[in-house]
Amino acid sequence: MLTLVVILLLVSFSLNIAMFLKRLAHRKEIQYIEKKLRSIVVNSSDEKLLLYTNDKQIKALLIQINLLLEESQKATVDYRVLERSMRKMLSNISHDLKTPLTVILGYAENMMNDDDLDPHKVKASLQTVHLKTVEVLDLMKRFFELARLESGDNHAEIVKVDISEICRKIILDYYEILTRKDFEVAIEIPETPIFVWGNQISIERILNNLITNAIKYGADGKMIGLKVKTNNDHAYIEVMDKGKGISEINRDRVFERMYTLEDSRNKLYQGSGLGLTITKRLVEQLGGSISLDSEPFKKTVFTVALKRFNF
């Protein structure tokens, strides 16, 4: 009987010791987790919590903490990229506004201070002031348009629209400009209606941006193309030119805010860098996508994909 009591006491003691050691191990693990987590947060590092443990609950906790850390670290990286992008955008906007405003100020001061200015020179100066003022207003309009799109304030009603008809209408609007510039025009638009889920005003703005871009940056090739094609699920609008194109290293960046080509200092290729960003946001707002394929002086194609309206 005494032996049994002793055995029970030893078992109880052993269990207590085991529980104590387990609690001690848990405490050390939790202290490590707390200390390491604080270090990761304070130093904004991209580390993860690495701890070998046999405890299933601790393992589950570590998995969830590491998932949260991964999301937090990704959000931090995205924020830094966005911050750099915004700084660059503000810097470029300041530069783009400063240039025409300086010209306007210079001509205005010249007209105010020169009492003997020839009327023809006055008229020419006013024409330049008007041109630069329109340039400033256009830049501000694009900037606020992008701000509305990215804030979600600009909602487009998605309805059934015929892109064949819209494409024919828009390319006709550019007939005089293209003829005057002696552009070759290649049009492949089906005579039958092609219906997609979209918004007429948004699609017109997308096409205007892409065609204007092709005329401006593809001027060397003296050619512009507009093609509409389909498959079972999507309709595709292709706007093509044969100009200087976009190199492979720059291809993924053309839709970034305020991105301009390397030779944007050349007046022939200057631009605010907002047009293609706005275009991409408009396409995405319609549930579509836009892509670019470019081979300099052979073919540069922007392709807009929209979901077909299937009866």
Looking at residue 311, its amino acid is F
**CATH 1.10.287.130 placement within the chain:** 87-151
Domain 87-151 has CATH 1.10.287.130: yes
Average confidence (pLDDT) over 202-228: 91
Output DSSP code: residue 231. Answer: -
Calculate mean pLDDT across residues 183-196: 94
Residues of the chain with CATH 3.30.565.10: 159-307
Report how far Cα 206 is from the mean position of its chain's Cα atoms. Answer: 15
Per-residue pLDDT at 160 exceeds 90: yes
User: For the stretch 259-282, what's the b/e string if a residue is b when 16 or more beta carbons lie within 10 angstroms of its beta carbon?
Assistant: bbbeeeeeeebebbbbbbbbbbbb
Which of 3.40.50.720, 3.40.50.11540, 3.30.565.10, 1.10.287.1120 would CATH assign to domain 159-307? 3.30.565.10
The rounded distance, in Å, linking the Cα atoms of 213 and 226 is 13
Identify the pLDDT of residue 149.
72
- The pTM of the full predicted model, rounded to 2 decimals, is 0.60
When pLDDT is averaged across residues 212-230 and rounded to a whole number, the result is 91
Which residue type is seen at 227? K
